[in-house]
Amino acid sequence: MTQIEVNPKILCGKPVIKGTRIPVYLILELLAAGYDFGRIMEAYPDLKREDIEAAIEYASGVVKGEEVLVSKVEA
């Protein structure tokens, strides 16, 4: 996943698309708002399809690695 970069000097270490200041969270927010890949690439011409896919893959890995604490569920 070489398209994602984490650098403390860029956006306080938030993961971004390498060579840009476009954070992974922005791509996820746009997708959640209904933007498709084409619309995102129109809004951010420096992005490629692979960059958007890498952002999704990165986010998936973060969530997959999270420890989930489940509290007691009442019926």
Q: What is the per-residue pLDDT across 2-13, written as a single tens digit (0 to 9) for each? A: 899 999 999 999
**pLDDT level of residue 74 (50, 70, 90 thresholds):** confident
The residue to which tokens 């970069």 are assigned = 5
- How many independent structural domains does the chain possess? 1
Report pTM.
Answer: 0.84
Length of the chain: 75
Summarised one tens digit per residue, pLDDT across range 44-58 is: 999 999 999 999 999
Q: Which residue range(s) make up the domain with 23?
A: 4-65
Q: Assess contact for 4 and 54: CB atoms under 8 A.
A: yes
The residue-averaged pLDDT of 4-28 equals 97
Neighbours of 17 (CB within 10 A): 24
Note whether residue 70 is domain-resident: no
pLDDT at 54: 97
- The answer to whether residue 75 is domain-embedded is no
Residue 47, domain CATH: 1.10.10.10
Side chain identity at residue 5, one-letter code: E
Tokens in use for 40? 């995102």
DSSP-derived secondary structure letter, 45:
T
Q: Confidence class of residue 1 from pLDDT cuts 50, 70 and 90?
A: low
